[in-house]
Amino acid sequence: MRSALFSIHRGLLVLGATWLLACGPTYGNAGDDGGGSSNQNDNSNTLLQDGGVGQDGFLWPDSTPPDAGQAYQLDGAAATDGCPPDMSNPCGNPVPPGCGTTEICGNGLDDNCNGEVDELCTCALGDVQQCFVGPPGRVDQGACVQGTQTCEGSNEFGHWGPCTGGIWPSAEICDDLDNDCNGCADDGLCCNPVISCPGPGDIQPGQPFTTYQLDGTQWYTGTATSWSWEVVGGPCDDVFIASGNSPSFTLNGANTATPTIEFTLSGDYTVTMTVVTPSGTYTCTFVIHIIGPGLRVELCWEGTGSRDIDLHLLRDDFGASWCDDTYDCYYMNCKAGSGDGFRPDWGYSTSNISECIGTPEGSTWNLLHGHCDNPRLDVDNISTAGIPENINVDSPSNGDVFRVMVHYYSGSGTEHPLVNIYCDGYRVGTYGQLPNQVTGFNSSGGYGCQGNTWRVVDVETLVSGGVTTCNLTALHPPGQTSGYDVRNNDTSY
């Protein structure tokens, strides 16, 4: 039975204020002296390294799972690895895989180690949870980090979609990193690493609309023939790119050692650095976590200047109708240029200008006010694809409830808006993502919230010890327990 090594997936979930990542060199043919050529023995499921030294590698067969239904299989860890003393790095006490016999719903782990996460577990449509495809004992060990999965389906109770954006156990590579997440880096490889890829915590997270500097020479210090960088975003970028628009980031200097990236969204961005050297090609793949504080609501859609879709946010206790300029936060009254007596006053204190200075409205906030208001609309996107509209409440109160609404302001044709909800930088909800796109959103109505309005979700903020978490309640048509609440010419809350 042929076995395949774990692959690195497209986005990663970062916990706290750290990077979570994996990296490793790409080598040529077996026998190269770069310290990392690998040959896989299909009969024994043992990864062999430079002359047959056994490795504690994690393998995932791509046919019927072995060993009583478990999809994961470990090589034995040896107290000695047979390497020369100057390159010996055995793993005598690997982290246990932690596989059980029963799947536990709601923890985002593959408890029974069958290659699936929370299978057959119900969930609420649009909810997002952390998840990990690998033995539960290896989560957050070494290079391994959790990804995310979104609840999808067409009935009252949904099911968890695929777990993506994480780094799962993979074969050890000579890169100074614990790729198989067994608690030991480069064990059994008989190598001296040429590259030292960054590990968790090596680089700080970023902020939306702030230039992010990278420097590949921190990880590879030798002679380089060429550099290249790639960036992959999250759900909104899937929408932008599929519709032929620019992504939510700008990568400058992609063929240099020191590129910069400008992000317009919160969330996780997977970055891959490739450096070609006289001795071989090496890669590091990692995630930059882009954080907006408190509650952040982001809206993206496929169209460009021919269609204008607007984001609205109302706090429940004000009980106003949509497009009420006193309390509804939207393009008319929540931007920096709105008069001091015109912007919604929800009783929150202002934020330091550093929280919004880089946004399209940032210079106006600084010039007119010297601070950032709460709530505020950082972007009123009328004609620029690849930039989301977003509304922020940096410091919400415990128990506050907010309702999110999307309005089709102008244009013609059907749109499929997508809304992300972030709390303290974590994506906790995504609505309108495939396979659950919004339907019937095709009627614009201009000023006054006429035409189509989509009531998306109610968000309750829970604040304790300076940390904001959220409870989400997806909204459905009146009297129904599923589907999206899209109305026409209706401004009621």
Residue 463 makes CB contacts below 8 A (sequence gap 6+) with: 396, 397, 398
pLDDT attached to residue 421: 97
So what's the pLDDT on residue 374?
95
C-alpha to C-alpha distance for 109 and 281, rounded to whole angstroms: 34
Phi, psi of 367, rounded to the nearest 5 degrees: -70, -45
Instruction: Sort strands 58-61 and 73-74 into parallel, antiparallel or unpaired.
Output: antiparallel
Residue 364 in 3-state DSSP? helix
Whether the pLDDT of residue 472 is over 70: the answer is yes
How many whole angstroms from its chain centre is CA 167?
12
Q: What is the pLDDT of residue 223?
A: 95
C-alpha span between 373 and 267 (Å, rounded): 22
Phi-psi region of 240 (alpha: psi -120 to 50; beta: other; left: phi over 0): alpha
Q: How confident is the model at residue 79 (pLDDT cuts 50, 70, 90)?
A: low
Render pLDDT for 162-220 as a digit per residue (tens, 0 to 9).
998 888 888 888 999 888 888 888 887 888 899 998 877 787 899 888 899 999 999 99
Phi, psi of 155 (to 5 degrees): -110, -175
Highest mean pLDDT: which range of 9-23, 120-134, 188-202: 120-134
Q: How many CB atoms lie within 10 A of CB 201?
A: 12
CB of 288 closer than 8 Å to CB of 13: no
pLDDT tens column, 40-76: 222 222 233 333 333 444 544 444 444 445 677 665 5
Delimit the domains of the chain by residue range.
1-79+98-291, 295-488
Per-residue model confidence as pLDDT tens digits over 431-445: 999 999 999 999 999
In total, the chain counts a number of residues equal to 493
The model's pTM is 0.83
